[in-house]
Structure 1
Amino acid sequence: MSDNSLPAALRANRRDALRQVLHARRFEESLRLGTQPSVRNSALAGLQAALATAVSVSLFLLSPWAHLVGFASLGALVALFGRFAPRRSRAGIVLQCAFWQSFAVFAMSATAWLGWPPAAQLTLLAVSCGFYLLLCFRRRFGAPGPLIFIFAVGAAMTDALDLSQVVERTLATAGAALLAWLICVASEALRHPPTPERPFPKDPERSLGELGFMATRVAIAALIVILASHALGASHPAWAAMGAVAVMQGSHLHISMHRALQRMAGTLIGAAMTWLLLIQQPSAWPIIVALMLLQVLTEIVIGANYGLGQALVTPMALLMTYLATPAADAAMAPERVVDTILGALVGMVIAVALSSAEDRRALARHHQSSHPCG
């Protein structure tokens, strides 16, 4: 169907789409609270990840390999996947995610061992954003999607490593991920399965060609924000990439705009809270307790409103970075805000610029239904 055959209110070129995503109604919509498919499953996934984090991080802190605590915390995050999968599928999903999380750490760490220049590492980070988006949708991993893997890729970036350091990073990640898998398997009976009366959300069916286009679009946006962040002297360009990916993985343009607004607002609140904590220079043990609480609370609220979730995810990411990086301090918090805003804005611009005609028509229909007067 061509735009000319549509009612005038539903004809949507890119200029129309930009006007519609910037309409005040999108700001109002981003404040709404949604209904979660299963609070119990979400809270359980958070508790499983929190338990895996507490055990693995504590063991590493008390061992001769305390410097690997950050990679252990990355491995524990795989417990978040597959919360709405059928019971026969969840264990397999978590195990697959354990492999890919470990691979994410290995691949980027190996570039430091091989002596790749920063430009090549940044390019690999951008390509990884597209790859992991395609992988998550293709394999139906579900929430939290590609951001966990991208976080791992970014955390593994460094200047130089020897082979033994690459191996120990990978093993630390894999060990914690396998612990998370065991915890998920042991507590599977506590999870509510989907039923005909209460079906759980599923990723929409997409062809490989459609997923390839989505992945390419995300990789382009990620490369732009990564290079911009690096040019500005930021230490964590992956944070900007994650901001772009979070926006662009929305299923519709109006949802992408909601995510952009919610991610920016939530990150600002979460970074402020983390800054207040980090200026106290806390020891590792209070941080572990905080990570556990934040993990559970995040999974309880993020399904109701992404912005509320981001207000809790941001402290988790910053506290994990603080644990993993001896030189990290409260100055990370403002950088997280700047990188997130940069990523969200660029991601939204690219989402509109590279949108399909059907994307724009769907936005126009949503805009018309929510604001009939235009």
Structure 2
Amino acid sequence: MPSENNDRIAKELKFYLFELRKTERLWHIPVLASLCVGVPLLIGYYFDRLNYGILASTGGLVILYLPTTTLANRMITLLACSFGFIFSYAIGISFSFNPVVSAVVLGIYTLFVHWVTKYFAMKPPGNFFFIMLFCVAIASPFNLASIPTRIGLTAMGTMFSVLLALFYSLLMLQRRAPISELIYVKKNTYANFVESALIGLFIGGSFLVGHLLKLENPYWVPISCLAVMQGANARHIWQRSLHRVLGTFIGLGVTWVLVSQNLTPLGICISILVLQFVIEMLVVRHYGLAVVFITPITIFLAEAASAMSSDPNVLVYSRFLDIVLGSLIGAVGGWIVHHHQLRYIAERQIRKTRIAILRR
């Protein structure tokens, strides 16, 4: 019996760590994503405003929500997600003046975003980039005068992606028939609310932990926490935790090599463009391998200036602590979210409270 269990564990580890899943995803999508992220960066570099280009390129990530449906549905979906991106960044940057307030608002906003994406059964990447933009915004230095400019740059990035998606869709739909997809609505209101509230609690709490520990860039903690908690079940949560930590460890090695090359601003831009392509090729096949390249691209997007001037050893060490801390919090949070007995108790308590309020 022990040998059978060991063989089964070995097979599962081999599958989860080394197996590449098959996918029908076209190679055009990684190219399109690279253009949506890379072109704003290159424009910012050309005008000697790399910080502006980085903001616009984060808005360009909205292209990852492009569905494979009819033209009208593609454009409606991207426009709705673009509004969500702009709204997320605007609310986040508006509440960045105080860490405690930021953590509370982040938790509430995460609850709302997760509930909406769960209610409409939104496909991956789901709530991730909306909350990621919010986290980056609330960790930014508060400057009231610069808020309109920052929001405008994010909006420009989303508009550029929508424009590219329009031309791409017009070209592709002439060659391939659109896939018919239905919008599913999940009506289990209590279960969705409990899950959303727990995720909001852990995401907001992880950001506050980052501040209390006086981490240099505390937004890495909730982003890593969210990435892990997106698992479909408890087993998937621990799998993603393992992938996240191992992928991050190797990815930080890649980051150290790149930063050690004393990259110029143009080198940073080209690196981000290439990394984005590689990530989109791998993320649907193996999450752990994708994390290897997600780590350097997120560091470059968030800290392009410091990546070119900081000590590579200090930068890599700091990011590793942040990401491991967030992954551990996410693993605990994911276990609680998918603990059936705890969720049942919480749902029953919400029902009792609602009935008691209605009887009054």
- With normalisation by structure 1, the TM-score equals 0.78
Structure 1 residue 127 corresponds to structure 2 residue 113: no
| Residues 121 and 186 in structure 2, CA contact (< 8 A), matched pair in contact too | no
- Deviation string, structure 1 residues 238-259 (Cα, Å, up to 9, x no partner): 2211222222221211111111
Structure 1 residue 107 corresponds to structure 2 residue 88: no
Query: Closer, same or farther in 2 for the Cα pair 1:263/1:85, shift >3 Å?
Result: farther
Hey, what's the Cα distance between the residues in 2 that align with 1:290 and 1:81?
23
Please report how far the alpha carbon of residue 194 of structure 1 lies from its aligned counterpart in structure 2 after TM superposition.
6.4
- With normalisation by structure 2, the TM-score equals 0.81
The letter for the 2-side match of 1:344 is S
Aligned to 1:344: 327
Pick one of 152, 163, 174 that aligns with 1:182.
163
Hey, what's the Cα distance between the residues in 2 that align with 1:84 and 1:136?
18
Hey, what's the Cα distance between the residues in 2 that align with 1:262 and 1:37?
19
The letter for the 2-side match of 1:63 is F
Structure 2, unaligned runs of 5 or more: 1-8, 344-360
Hey, what's the Cα distance between the residues in 1 that align with 2:177 and 2:192?
28
Higher mean alpha-carbon deviation, 227-236 vs 130-139, is at 130-139
| Residues 95 and 105 in structure 2, CA contact (< 8 A), matched pair in contact too | no
Hey, what's the Cα distance between the residues in 2 that align with 1:123 and 1:29?
39
Please report how far the alpha carbon of residue 347 of structure 1 lies from its aligned counterpart in structure 2 after TM superposition.
1.7
Query: Closer, same or farther in 2 for the Cα pair 1:324/1:47, shift >3 Å?
Result: farther
- What secondary structure is seen at the aligned counterpart in 2 of 1:30? helix
Structure 1, unaligned runs of 5 or more: 1-22, 361-374
Higher mean alpha-carbon deviation, 178-187 vs 141-150, is at 141-150
Hey, what's the Cα distance between the residues in 2 that align with 1:193 and 1:238?
41
Hey, what's the Cα distance between the residues in 1 that align with 2:339 and 2:22?
29
Aligned to 1:371: none
| Residues 69 and 324 in structure 1, CA contact (< 8 A), matched pair in contact too | no
- What secondary structure is seen at the aligned counterpart in 1 of 2:95? helix
Aligned to 2:43: 59
Structure 1 residue 211 corresponds to structure 2 residue 185: no
Hey, what's the Cα distance between the residues in 1 that align with 2:53 and 2:305?
6
The sequence identity of aligned pairs, in percent, is: 21
Hey, what's the Cα distance between the residues in 1 that align with 2:159 and 2:30?
16
Question: How many residues matched?
Answer: 330
Please report how far the alpha carbon of residue 101 of structure 1 lies from its aligned counterpart in structure 2 after TM superposition.
1.2
Aligned to 1:80: 64
Query: Closer, same or farther in 2 for the Cα pair 1:220/1:37, shift >3 Å?
Result: same
Query: Closer, same or farther in 2 for the Cα pair 1:148/1:203, shift >3 Å?
Result: farther
Hey, what's the Cα distance between the residues in 1 that align with 2:68 and 2:183?
8
Aligned to 2:19: 33
Query: Closer, same or farther in 2 for the Cα pair 1:241/1:283, shift >3 Å?
Result: same
Please report how far the alpha carbon of residue 346 of structure 1 lies from its aligned counterpart in structure 2 after TM superposition.
1.7
Structure 1 residue 158 corresponds to structure 2 residue 158: no
Higher mean alpha-carbon deviation, 320-329 vs 264-273, is at 320-329
> 1 or 2, which has the higher helix percentage?
2
Higher mean alpha-carbon deviation, 103-112 vs 264-273, is at 103-112
Please report how far the alpha carbon of residue 161 of structure 1 lies from its aligned counterpart in structure 2 after TM superposition.
0.5
Structure 1 residue 313 corresponds to structure 2 residue 294: yes
Aligned Cα root-mean-square deviation (Å): 3.0
Please report how far the alpha carbon of residue 298 of structure 1 lies from its aligned counterpart in structure 2 after TM superposition.
0.8
Hey, what's the Cα distance between the residues in 1 that align with 2:183 and 2:342?
20
Equivalent positions of 1:1-374 (< 5 A) are 27-40=13-26, 43-63=27-47, 65-85=49-69, 87-112=71-96, 116-156=97-137, 157-163=139-145, 165-188=146-169, 189-190=171-172, 205=186, 207-323=188-304, 329=310, 330=312, 331-357=314-340
